[in-house]
């Protein structure tokens, strides 16, 4: 089955700096890669996603890049703000076979933005 | 208001006492899923359902059961809970397989 590795597990930046979180996946058939943000004590919420037919996607200060050959994808946050502090999870969705429909998450990255 | 609801939000129980955590969505979503969240392990999928009467195992299905008799409801059943099932549980739904998943508020379960 799919295996998703996420790094780093913790990331500390100064306000205004950029933050990058990387994930690798094992199943080359996976075709959907969402990123979720979870604030303390709250439920995860989707912040951006990318499909396997696209190499990059941007939404204001957030961008995601996908390298299918290397089987990795990354979340980029520019001009970080204290309210970006949260746990971020990447995920990969299996595309076929008996695992069709499964969503595998990374272990999470605790991002802290210092004012 | 479009939402995913779970009940109960908090539950303390004892080993072996059967329990059900309910999940309901009012968005007419086809895809529903259950996850457990444990420190350092991220979110792990327990079961998912792509439509009524269609359910499949996720990564950690042992000790859990689900059913999908109606589109809006997807209950999680623990027939004989054990302490290693102490966790934070999330239900989620989405319109389609590769679409935004909306998470419920979570159920914190403690099994003594």
Edge-to-edge strands of the sheet including A72-77?
Answer: A4-7, A19-25, A72-77, A62-67, A56-59
Nearest partner of A48 among A38, A61, A62, judged by Cα: A62
pLDDT digits (tens, 9 = 90+) for B73-98: 999 999 999 999 999 999 999 998 78
A35–chain B Cβ distance below 8 A for any pair: no
If you average pLDDT over residues B1-30, what whole number do you get? 96
pLDDT tens digit sequence for A26-36: 988 898 999 99
Q: Which of B31, B33, B40 sits opposite A107 (nearest CB)?
A: B40
Mean pLDDT, rounded, of chain A: 93
Please determine, for residue A98, whether its predicted confidence score (pLDDT) is greater than 70.
Answer: no
Cis upstream peptide for B8 (omega within 30°): yes
Residues in B touching A104 (Cβ below 8 Å): 45, 59
Tell if the CB–CB gap between B97 and A49 is shorter than 8 Å: no
Q: Mind listing the pLDDT tens digit for each residue in A35-49?
A: 999 999 999 999 999
Residue of B nearest to A49 (CA): B100
Q: B98 and A101: CB-CB below 8 Å? A: no
Say if residues A8 and A73 touch (Cβ distance below 8 Å): no
- Asked whether residue A99 carries a pLDDT value surpassing 70, the answer given is no
pLDDT, residue B1, reads 82
Whether B94 has its CB under 8 Å from any CB of chain A: the answer is no
Q: Å from A36 to nearest chain B CA?
A: 9
As a three-state string, the secondary structure of chain A is CCCEEEECCEEEEECCCCEEEEEEECCCCCCEEEEEEECCCCCCEEEEEEECCCCEEEECCEEEEEECCCCEEEEEECCCCHHHCEEEEEEEECCCHHHCCCEEECCCEEEEEEC
The answer to whether residue B99 scores a pLDDT higher than 90 is no
pLDDT at residue B41 in the model: 87
Residue A97 in this model has a pLDDT that exceeds 90: no
- By C-alpha distance, which of B90, B77, B94, B81 is closest to B2? B94
Q: Which of B73, B78, B12 is nearest to B46 (CA)?
A: B78
Cβ contact, residue pair B42, A107, below 8 Å? yes
Task: Check residue A82 and give its pLDDT.
Answer: 97
Q: Does A96 touch chain B (CB under 8 A)?
A: no
Residue A61 pLDDT class (50, 70, 90 cuts): very high
CB-CB neighbors (< 8 A) of B41 in chain A:
107
- When scoring A32, A43, A59, A102 by the number of chain B Cβ atoms within 10 A, the one with the most, hence best to mutate, is A43
Q: What share of chain A has pLDDT > 70, as a percent?
A: 96
In this prediction, residue A1 carries a pLDDT of 76
The confidence score (pLDDT) of residue B25 equals 97
Query: What is the predicted pLDDT for the residue at A55?
Result: 92
């Amino acid at each position: 089955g799919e295996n998703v590795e996420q790094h780093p597990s913790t990331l500390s930046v100064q306000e205004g700096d950029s933050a990058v979180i990387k994930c690798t996946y094992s199943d080359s058939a996976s075709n959907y890669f969402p990123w979720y943000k979870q604030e303390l004590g709250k439920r995860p919420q989707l912040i951006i996603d990318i499909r396997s037919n696209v190499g990059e996607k941007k939404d204001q200060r957030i961008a995601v890049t996908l390298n299918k050959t290397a089987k990795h994808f990354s979340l980029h946050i520019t001009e970080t703000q204290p309210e970006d502090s949260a746990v971020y999870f990447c995920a990969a969705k299996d595309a076929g076979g008996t695992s069709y429909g499964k969503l595998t998450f990374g272990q999470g990255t605790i991002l802290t933005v210092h004012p | 208001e479009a939402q995913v609801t779970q009940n109960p939000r908090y539950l303390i129980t004892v080993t072996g006492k059967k329990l059900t955590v309910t999940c309901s969505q009012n968005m007419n979503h086809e895809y529903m899923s259950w996850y457990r969240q444990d420190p350092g392990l991220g979110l792990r999928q327990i079961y998912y359902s792509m439509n009524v009467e269609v359910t499949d195992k996720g990564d950690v299905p042992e000790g859990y059961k689900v059913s999908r008799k109606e589109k809006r409801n997807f209950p999680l059943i623990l027939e004989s809970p054990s302490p290693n099932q102490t966790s934070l549980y999330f239900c989620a739904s989405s319109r389609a397989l590769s679409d935004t998943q909306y998470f419920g508020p979570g159920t914190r379960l403690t099994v003594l």
